[in-house]
Amino acid sequence: MDISNNDKMVLVTGGSGFIASYCIIALLNKGFKVKASLRSLNRIADVKQMLSTGGISDFDHLSFVEADLSKEDGWQEAVRGCTYVIHPASPTPRPDATHEDEFIIPAVNGVLHVLRAAKYAGVKRVVLTSAFGAIGFGTDKKTPYTEEDWSDPNKNIPAYQKSKTLSERAAWEFIKNEGNGLELSVVNPFGVLGPVLGADYSHSIQMIHQMLSGKLKGLPKMRFGYVDVRDVASLHVSAMINPVANGERFLAVAGKAMSMLDIANILRENFGDEAAKVPGKEIPDWLIRITALFNSKIKLIVPFLGVTKEASHDKATRLLDWHPRSNREAVYATAESLIRLGLVN
Beta-carbon contacts of 146 under 8 Å, excluding residues fewer than 6 positions away, are 251, 311, 312, 314, 315
Rounded CA separation 253/256 (Å): 8
Q: Residue 74, Cβ neighbours under 10 Å: how many?
A: 17
Helical (H) or strand (E) element with 15: none
Residue pair 92/160 in contact (Cβ under 8 Å)? The answer is yes
Alpha-carbon gap, residue 283 to 213, rounded angstroms: 18
Q: Helix crossing, 229-241 with 18-29: angle to 10°?
A: 60
SS3 108: helix
Q: What are phi and psi of 223, to 5 degrees?
A: -130, 130
Dihedral of CA 12/14/15/19: which sign? negative
Measured between alpha carbons, how far is 154 from 211 in angstroms, rounded to an integer?
34
CA–CA distance from 271 to each of 89, 197, 210, 263 (Å)?
33, 20, 15, 12
CA-to-CA distance for 226 and 131, rounded, in angstroms?
12
Query: H/E element holding 125?
Result: strand 125-129
Identified catalytic residue from 35, 119, 162, 164: 164
Specify whether 164 is catalytic.
yes
For residue 146, CA distances in Å to 55, 61, 189, 300 come to 34, 36, 12, 25
Just list the catalytic residues: 164
